[in-house]
Amino acid sequence: MDWNFLIFTVVKIVIVLTLLHTIAGYAVLAERKISAWIQDRVGPNRCAPPFMKFVPVVGPLLTRMGIFQPAADGLKFMLKEDFTPAGARKAYFWLAPAVAVIPSILVVAVIPFGSYLGHQKMVIADLNVGILYTFGIVSLGVYGIVLAGYAANSKYPMFGGIRSSAQMISYEISMGMSVIPVFLITSQLNLSNIINWQTQHGWLILYAPLSLVIFLVASFAETNRTPFDLPEAETELVGGYHTEYSSMKFALFFLAEYSNITASAGMMVTLFFGGWSLPFWGLDHPATTMLVGIAHILIFLVKVCLLISLFIWVRWMFPRFRYDQLMDLGWRRFIPLALVNILVTAVVLWMRS
């Protein structure tokens, strides 16, 4: 047994999960701050541990920024009563939050978040069919939401679960088809090799911009984000599929949503924005020094955070689609558009060969 490989893999898993949950927690804070900025409010600026008032300058600054708010939210979820409705199907009711959050965690296993640190690749599982694995895992996320809607034995969660299943299945098709031009252009299914191709030829957003647009819009639908948040639709369905949930079960749905957003942003960075590379910095070959390897990781994280900010900005700037408009866009617009995109890319590549 290769103990070095095993130890470093466990270390990478711990680091990636810690980063994923930290980004998810602070994405909630970013959502509250950005929405407050858009609506000319202040946002979270009070929550802080008691001892912070004795820390000059830094304490008040961190408090005003709301840095401690995610920790307070997490503590609140843990301390709240874990209530299960009497009429709920209890086994499924308990299982649904775990089924919802696990796929969002598994997806990040194949996303390269850097090049090398020393001799270690900065990816947990460098699969030759990484993108196919990703879409296989993403397709499982709908089961948690459907189970939650069914298990609650209540009409509003059921409506939310039905909406979500139809919506996610519809947009999975166009999302999967949107990345086929990427494979045609790079001749790769391995995500690390796709990034290496971009370091030599330029980011794929220049070669397949329509693929990015389709993938981005489909990501909004897959993560149930505005303007495609019909499964939750607070003004229509109270809260949708998680209406009956409380405490840590509700927190798991929250974690799943923001983890899915982070994973979607990571996939877009990997497929279209060069992953850990920069177009004006000569990093054509994987890092040979520890400092450059750390720089690659930071570049990747900054790109991911910028895309998460886009997800948040769209939520507070655009109205919700009607359900018939959402389905019409998915089936009658995006799927034909994705097919045309594949055909045009294939013809252009054939003519250039």
> Which one, of 194, 219, 205, 54, lies nearest residue 135 by Cα?
219
Q: What is the pLDDT of residue 150?
A: 86
> Does 334 map to a domain?
yes
Confidence class for position 287, pLDDT limits 50, 70, 90: very low
Q: What is the pLDDT of residue 254?
A: 84
> Does 40 map to a domain?
no
Judged against a pLDDT cut of 90, whether residue 338 lies above it is answered with: yes
Q: What is the DSSP track for 248-262?
A: HHHHHHHHHHHHHHH
What type of residue sits at position 2?
D
> Does 336 map to a domain?
yes
Q: What is the pLDDT of residue 184?
A: 93
Q: What is the pTM of this model?
A: 0.91
HSE-CB of 336 using CA atoms within 13 angstroms? 5
Query: Would you report the helix, strand and coil content of the chain in percent, each value rounded to 5?
Result: 70, 0, 30
**Average pLDDT score, the chain:** 86
Confidence class for position 284, pLDDT limits 50, 70, 90: very low
> Does 116 map to a domain?
yes
Confidence class for position 1, pLDDT limits 50, 70, 90: low
> Does 22 map to a domain?
no
> Does 8 map to a domain?
no
Judged against a pLDDT cut of 50, whether residue 234 lies above it is answered with: yes
**Helix 69-79 to helix 3-38 angle, to the nearest 10 degrees?**
100
> Which one, of 217, 130, 212, 227, lies nearest residue 179 by Cα?
212
Interval 89-110 mean pLDDT: 88
Domain range enclosing 217: 85-352
pLDDT in tens, 65-85: 889 998 888 888 888 888 888
- CA torsion sign, 79 to 240 to 230 to 223? positive
pLDDT in tens, 18-36: 999 899 889 999 999 999 9
Total number of domains constituting the chain: 1
Q: How far is residue 349's CA from residue 347's CA, in Å, rounded to a whole number?
A: 5
> Does 184 map to a domain?
yes
Confidence class for position 52, pLDDT limits 50, 70, 90: confident
Q: What is the pLDDT of residue 211?
A: 94
* Upstream peptide bond of 70 is cis (omega within 30 degrees of 0): no
Judged against a pLDDT cut of 70, whether residue 209 lies above it is answered with: yes
> Which one, of 110, 11, 31, 24, lies nearest residue 304 by Cα?
24
> Does 319 map to a domain?
yes
